[in-house]
A and B are shown apart, each in its own frame.
Chain A
Amino acid sequence: MERIKDRKNNTKRYAIDLIVNGDPYTVVVKANALLVNVLRDQLGLTGTKKGCELGDCGSCTVLLDGKPVDSCLILALEAEGHAITTIEGVAESSELDVVQQAFIDHGAVQCGYCTPGMILSAKALLKSNPHPTERDVREAIAGNLCRCTGYVNIVKAVLAAGASGEGERHD
């Protein structure tokens, strides 16, 4: 982390190195920059959504070292040195990831706003628990609010991705 002084405004800025979806980025941020805003506005990764911005809705969920976190409650400075995964990094090639495809197949997407966060929470779950029960799935997505689907099809999609052996691919 390199400190840069902005002479005009007398505000400190920092050059930080972020690793997002495996790609290294160097960005210049103020101390109060939130990870979600840096991802969206500076890196152009707008798949990560902003909802409540207070850690309740989960639409800004990203994976930090594989664990789901709310990127609206993390300073960009604090994310330095951690591997960040956003929805843009879920598909490994031009083909959709199994979880993404399962969401389509089961009609788990309506307005789509919660979907990136839902999928990242599901990915983290399937990695640690490749064959989750319905209870495990509901628990894992409890921090992701959906106002359209009533969760039923989302749960079905994640269970189907689990049944297809999705989680085991990464073990």
Chain B
Amino acid sequence: MYLPDFEYYSPSTLREACLTLARLKGGAKVLAGGTDLLTDMKNGVIAPLALVSLKGIPAIRKIAYVPGKGVVIGACATQNDLVNSPVLQERYPSICGTAHAMANNQIRNRGTAGGNLVSAVPSADLPPILIALKANVTLAGPEATRTVLLEEFFLAPRRSVITAQEILSEIILPDQETTRSAYLKFGLRRSGALAVVGVAASVEATNGHVDDVRIVLGAVAPTPIRALGAEQLLKGQHVTEALLEDVGRTAADECKPISDIRGSDEYRRDMVRVFTKRALRKALNMTVTDETEVTR
């Protein structure tokens, strides 16, 4: 399998990269880890005239806590960078767990956090947990930089609000009162498998009383979606097993899954019910029937 021909650019600043993209007028693609982009090019899905590599811009690979802003994840941080980040391990271990559940070691050493978002694949693992944690993304353009709520970033499978001249440069997790968060991925294998269903939950609770909750579903709609009805049902309530069952059922009603090689719509819906319950139990630090991040 060979790659089609393309022009290669390796700018050394973000601005130069955006200007290059603007000059190439939509004919170029941004190369970060390449684990999605190069496979798509090999498969003939896309044949960009040029690739603009981000490897010469090390500034956008850092993960750091910036007071007043929150945790800033550089878009080119690899998935294993997320797994091993002391900042994330301390503040949002659920993101480390999510990254660890992705693909396999070789891919995690190349695939980037930003790439997982920009590819906008419905089954992607990082979007649900990042949306549950109120993430914003910074989109750098040739003229201006804008900040977009990740929840509003995705439009359709493989489509997002990013323009051909923009580069997703960082992911920002604002300071927040999160008791705990969790992402549970249901895949057909432990490694190298796409999510059949992914459920992220972020909960603010005191003694079993839920003050606030966000539930985000992946792989069961054209984009990651919040289960708003399920959230409403839980908000302000005292957690009981019966209530979690109702919340799971509501989330199952809210999703819009398709049938494909990995599972039927009916099956996915039922797994949303189960995994919503489990993700909430895990976020609430209740006894979890299944401790692993990935379940088969």
Interface size class of A (residues with CB under 8 A): 20 to 34
Point out the residues of chain B lying under 8 angstroms from A78, CB to CB: 31, 34, 53, 55
Residue of B with least CB distance to A60? B106
Q: Which of B3, B38, B103, B104 has the most CB of A within 10 A?
A: B104
Question: Given that A61-B106, A75-B34 are known contacts, is A56 also in contact with B192, CB under 8 Å in the complex?
Answer: yes
Chain A 105-147 against B: per-residue CB contact (8 Å), 1 yes, 0 no?
0000000000000000100100000000000000110110000
Task: For the complex, give the distance between the alpha carbons of A32 and B80 in Å.
Answer: 26
**Distance, CA A31 to CA B41, complexed state (A):** 13
Provide the bound-state CA to CA distance between A143 and B110, in Å.
13
Question: Given A31-B51, A70-B110, A77-B10, do A143 and B105 touch, yes or no (CB 8 Å)?
Answer: yes
Q: Contact partner of A55 among B6, B8, B80, B106, CB < 8 A?
A: B106
- Which of A22-55 touch B at CB < 8 Å? 30-32, 34, 37, 53-55
Residue numbers in B under 8 Å from A148 (CB-CB): none
In the complex the two chains form, what is the Cα distance from A140 to B109 in whole Å? 12
Chain B interface size range? 20 to 34
Total A-B residue contacts, Cβ distance less than 8 Å: 87
Known: A55-B39, A77-B8, A139-B191. A32 touches B104 (CB 8 A): no
Please tell me if A58 contacts chain B, counting CB pairs below 8 Å: yes
Interface of A is mostly: mixed
What separation, in Å, do the CA atoms of A55 and B53 have in the docked complex? 19
Closest CB pairs A-B (n = 7) = A143-B104, A142-B191, A31-B8, A32-B3, A53-B1, A143-B106, A67-B109
- Hey, which bits of chain B sit against chain A, CB under 8 A? 1-8, 10, 31, 34-35, 38-39, 42-43, 51, 53, 55, 80, 103-107, 109-110, 190-192
